[in-house]
Amino acid sequence: MMPRNQKSQTACHLAAGIATLILSTISTHASAATGALLKPNDFVGISFWLITMALMASTVFFFLERDRVSAKWKTSLTVSGLVTLVAAVHYLYMREVWVNTGTSPTVFRYIDWLITVPLLMIEFYLILSAITKVPAGVFWRLMVGTFVMLIGGYLGEAGYMAVWPAFIIGMAGWAAILYEIFFGQAGKINAQSAPPAVQSAFSTMRWIVTIGWAIYPIGYFFGYLTGSGPEASANALNLIYNLADVLNKIAFGLIIWSVAVSESEASLKK
C-alpha cells in the first residue's frame, strides 16, 4: 500500500498537472483571440468567465480530495472532477464564441452536455455500487433517458426539428430519469440497501436533478418559445443555462464528496 505522504504528493502532482493543463488552454485561447474583449456590461460573458473559474477550482479540489476517501469512493470523486474539467474547457470555448460573435454557443454547449450529463447520471450508479451490487439495467436506463433528453433538446435548439416537438421529446427523457431515481430500481435499491449517509446524498442528488434541471427547460422556454426578440432570447437562454450548470455540476460533485468523506471517516472508526 502506498504511504500516506506519498499519496498526498501524488494527488498534489495530479492537481498541479490539471491546473497546468487548464492554464495552457487559457493561454492558447488568449493567443488565438481575434481581438474582441469581454465588456464590463456584458453580464452573459461575465457569467461565462466566473463559471469557468469556479469549474476549474472545483476540478482541482475534487482530484485533491481523492486522497482523503476510501478506495470505493475514489471513482466517484474522479468522475466529479472529470465533469467539472470537461465543462471548464467547454466554457472557455463558449465564452470566446459569445464575446466574439454575440451568438449563442449551442453546439459547444451540447458537446459539453453529451459528455458531462451522462457522467453525472453514472454517479447515481456509482454511489449505489459502492455499498451494494447494482444491476446493469439501472445504468442503461439512466443512459437512455439522458441521451433522449439531450438529443431532443439539441434538435430543437439547432433547428433540425420544430421546437415544441423537440421540447416534448427532451422532457420525456428527463421524466424517464426522474422515474428511475425516485420510483424505479435505483430508487428502491437506495431505500432498501443504502446506509443513512448514502440515502441522504442520493436524495439530495435526485432533487438537484428535479429542481436544478428544471432550470434548463425554463431557459429553453424563454429562449425559444416565448417569441421575444433574438437578443433578449439569447441573453436569457445563456444566463439561465449558465446558472443551471454551476449548480448542477459543482453542487452535484460536492454532495458526492461530502458522503464519500463521511463514509470513509466512519469506516476508519470501526
Under 8 Å between Cβ of 77 and 260:
yes
Tell me the pTM.
0.85
Number of domains in the chain: 1
User: Looking at residue 1, what is its pLDDT?
Assistant: 45
User: Looking at residue 228, what is its pLDDT?
Assistant: 55
Is 159 exposed, middle or buried (CB count within 10 Å of its CB: 0-12, 13-18, 19+)? exposed
The CATH code of the domain that includes 259 is 1.20.1070.10
Task: Give the pLDDT of the chain (270 residues) as one tens digit per residue.
Answer: 455 565 556 556 665 666 666 656 555 555 445 556 788 889 999 999 999 999 999 999 999 999 999 998 999 999 999 999 999 999 999 998 999 888 888 889 999 999 999 999 999 999 999 888 999 999 999 999 999 999 999 999 888 999 899 999 999 999 999 999 999 999 999 999 988 888 988 999 999 999 989 989 888 887 777 765 555 578 888 998 998 998 899 999 999 999 999 888 887 776
User: Looking at residue 220, what is its pLDDT?
Assistant: 83
Look-up of cell digits 482523503: 68
Give the domain extent around 169.
Answer: 4-269
User: Looking at residue 222, what is its pLDDT?
Assistant: 77
CA dist 124 and 203 (Å) reads 10
Find the angle CA(92)-CA(80)-CA(237) to the nearest 5 degrees.
45
For the chain, the three-class secondary structure string (H helix, E strand, C coil) is CCCHHHHHHHHHHHHHHHHHHHHHHHHHHHHHCCCCCCCCCCHHHHHHHHHHHHHHHHHHHHHHHHHHCCHHHHHHHHHHHHHHHHHHHHHHHHHHHHHHHCCCCHHHHHHHHHHHHHHHHHHHHHHHHCCCCCCHHHHHHHHHHHHHHHHHHHHHHCCCCCHHHHHHHHHHHHHHHHHHHHCCHHHHHHHHHCCHHHHHHHHHHHHHHHHHCCHHHHHHHHHHHCCCCHHHHHHHHHHHHHHHHHHHHHHHHHHHHHHHHHHHHHHHHC
